[in-house]
A and B are shown apart, each in its own frame.
Chain A
Amino acid sequence: MGLFLHQVLAGIATGGIYACMGLAVVMIYQAIDHLNFAQGEMAMFSTFVAWQLIQWGAPYWVAFLATVAISFAAGVAIDRIVFKPIHGAPVLSHVVVFIAMLSIFNSGAGYIWDYQIKTFPSPFGTGDLFGQNLVSRHDAGMIAVTLMMLMGLYFFFRHTRIGLAMRAAAASPDSARLAGIRVGWMVALGWGMAAAIGAIAGMMIAPVVFLEPNMMVSILLYGFAGAVLGGLTSPGGAVLGGFSVGVIENLAATYIPGAGRELKLTIALFIIVAVLIFKPSGLFGRPVVSRV
């Protein structure tokens, strides 16, 4: 029983990473109805920017806020500059551009900052929470930040006018235009927010997995898995999904024989696929009702 509890908690701790990433993924999906495959690399790049600022002597929270602001602006810029010209292109072409951005950010980060692993500081300090051997201070802090972002987003989308405008623009751009909503700028705003959340996710994750250009590759996949498991229409679901993926992965590795470290990811993925098959909109997503 002790092992089980420990694995569950450890799973929740790693799940915090996936939850954070999943939140950024769902954020942009809600804004533009596409999955941004370059999300992880953008987050990684932002984290490097923060690292650089810290190297240049900035205090942690200054670097943190500056990075979030820069990432927001960069997200808006990327949408307006890179994605505007292909506005009418088919979906698959958009996916290729996402892949291209992935490649550019990954390669760019490696070129500017090289591939050696770097350490990234945690603002929560090292050591375990309250000295107990259950969860580390950083993990607890990371979970807290994720939940705070989630609550902030929830409030933003459900209770502000601009949040509603964004939702409308994503749901039905033509109808939104007919309501006078400037759809183009709503999408850009979504991009900015997603980039900012991604930056926060990256800065939370880096202390755990260490900073290097390929750090986000598998984490993004876990983030997708969590988002899908929870339901792509639900930021809360994405967070819960992320935690669940962490727990499932850990428990599977512990209890399923033959599943070494190599197969952890595979098992988690297949479990998610199984969930999808039985409940495509995810565990917490709202099934989309559409009249034929």
Chain B
Amino acid sequence: MHSPDMPRSASLDADARSPAVASLTAWHVLALVGGLIVIAGLPFVVKNFFVFQITLAVIYAIAILGLNLLTGVNGQFSLGHSAFYAIGAYTAAIMMNADIGYGWTLPAAGLACFISGFLFGLPALRLEGIYLALATFALAVATPQLLKVNFLEDWTGGVQGISIIKPDAPFGLPLNADQWLYFFTIAVAALLYLGAANLVKSRTGRALVAIRDHPVAASAMGINVPLYKSLIFGVSALYTGVAGALGAIAIQFVAPDSFTFTLAIALFVGLVVGGVGSIPGTLFGGAFVLFVPNIAEKVSKGLAGAVYGVILILLIYLMPTGVAGLVRWTTGMLGRRAVAREANPETKPDTKTSAELARLEGDKSGVQAR
């Protein structure tokens, strides 16, 4: 096993170019319409508590999306995103306590986290791989303690934390608080996901991926590596912070011990299980983080942790690159069969040109030569 490096398989815009996708577009539209119907109708056919859980799953998904932008896209290993989640949550709680509308808490949380993320990203520039992981982990461990500290107590409510009241639906809409929050969260999520997808496909996104895969080459091509790395730290923190704010509103309570390193680890696990570098994968990650610990506990109360661990190991065995990796592999298999069927029977479907051979051979040695 070699020194920490990021998975290179996450090729984010490959799907857009592969011929297999073109033939699936009809299915895509159908799935989209069906999905919209399900999303819109869900809160009215299931129990309130389940609506609350789905909302939380989406919130975690947003938090994981933030982590994904940093770790998956840019290759900076963070085990400390619970800190940003906490900052977002406390920002929302403090503001709502001061009777400021909950709508304002999201941008405020985002801003606060962007700044703190960017500031953390600056010294983090000097840290790589495992050192960065440990530094961020230190941040995660420190966060609950900092939140309990005496001279901040007037703001943070100390160990007791702060309680908030879930907002009611506006304009007198016939929704209860949980349902309203569900739609509100979905709307925010849609915005954030679109933003992330756009970011990844843009030049900025490609620059970030280049930095992840070959930082020296990226810098040699004129990419301002330190700036990008710090900015994406900020953006990543922003996403997770907004999730934190939403989370605070959903749970109606913030306290230091809700934001321990356990949360940071959970977000990380959600990221890997969903698929590092995959934006849709984060949705699966969010659901995993919320539901699987509960499932584990139902299986065995005393051994809940052990069951959880076993589930994790099995998932990694079956899907080492996460759910997204599995999907990519499956569509890849289907796509390749389609291409082979269409191919000219005279040419060998698997012949590679010299240039491609060179690239394949070069991947194994070349730049990484020691």
The stretch that binds A, out of B28-36, B125-133, B232-240, is B125-133
In the complex, are the beta carbons of A99 and B303 less than 8 A apart? no
- Cβ of A119 to closest chain B Cβ, rounded Å: 23
Q: Out of B128, B142, B276, name the residue touching A280 (CB < 8 Å).
A: B128
0/1 interface trace, chain A 73-102, chain B, CB 8 Å (1 if under): 000000000100111111111111101111
- Across-interface contacts of B222 in A (CB, < 8 A): none
- Across-interface contacts of B145 in A (CB, < 8 A): 262-263, 265-266
B4 within 8 A of A: yes
Given contacts A172-B370, A262-B148, A276-B131, contact A92 B141 (CB under 8 A): no
B272, B303, B310, B321, most chain A CB atoms within 10 A: B272
- Across-interface contacts of B273 in A (CB, < 8 A): 96
The stretch that binds B, out of A29-37, A60-68, A151-159, is A29-37
B2 within 8 A of A: yes
Chain B: interface secondary structure? Answer: helix
- Cβ of B350 to closest chain A Cβ, rounded Å: 22
- Across-interface contacts of A93 in B (CB, < 8 A): 272, 316, 320-321
Assembly CA distance A91 to B309 (angstroms): 18
Chain A: interface secondary structure? Answer: helix
The stretch that binds B, out of A47-55, A103-111, A141-149, A234-242, is A103-111
A277 within 8 A of B: yes
In the complex, are the beta carbons of B276 and A263 less than 8 A apart? no
In the complex, are the beta carbons of A35 and B149 less than 8 A apart? no
A290 within 8 A of B: yes
Assembly CA distance A265 to B303 (angstroms): 30
In the complex, are the beta carbons of A90 and B302 less than 8 A apart? no
B151 within 8 A of A: yes
Assembly CA distance A119 to B151 (angstroms): 37
Q: Which B residues from 224 to 255 make CB contacts under 8 A with A? A: none
Q: Out of A85, A103, A175, name the residue touching B305 (CB < 8 Å).
A: A103
The stretch that binds B, out of A127-135, A200-208, A224-232, A246-254, is A224-232
In the complex, are the beta carbons of A33 and B1 less than 8 A apart? yes
In the complex, are the beta carbons of B272 and A95 less than 8 A apart? yes
The interface of chain B, by Cβ under 8 A from chain A, is 1-7, 9, 71, 77, 123, 126-128, 130-131, 133-135, 137-138, 141-142, 145-146, 148-151, 216, 265, 268-269, 271-273, 276, 302-310, 312-313, 316-317, 320-321, 367, 369-370
The interface of chain A, by Cβ under 8 A from chain B, is 29, 32-35, 82, 85-97, 99-104, 106-108, 110-111, 172-173, 175, 187, 218, 221, 224-225, 228, 232, 258, 260, 262-263, 265-266, 269-270, 272-273, 276-277, 280, 290-292
A-B contact pairs, 28 of them (CB 8 A): A32-B1, A33-B1, A33-B2, A35-B130, A90-B9, A92-B7, A92-B268, A92-B271, A93-B272, A93-B320, A94-B1, A95-B268, A95-B272, A99-B269, A100-B313, A102-B309, A103-B312, A107-B307, A108-B305, A262-B145, A266-B142, A269-B138, A270-B138, A270-B142, A273-B138, A277-B126, A280-B126, A280-B127
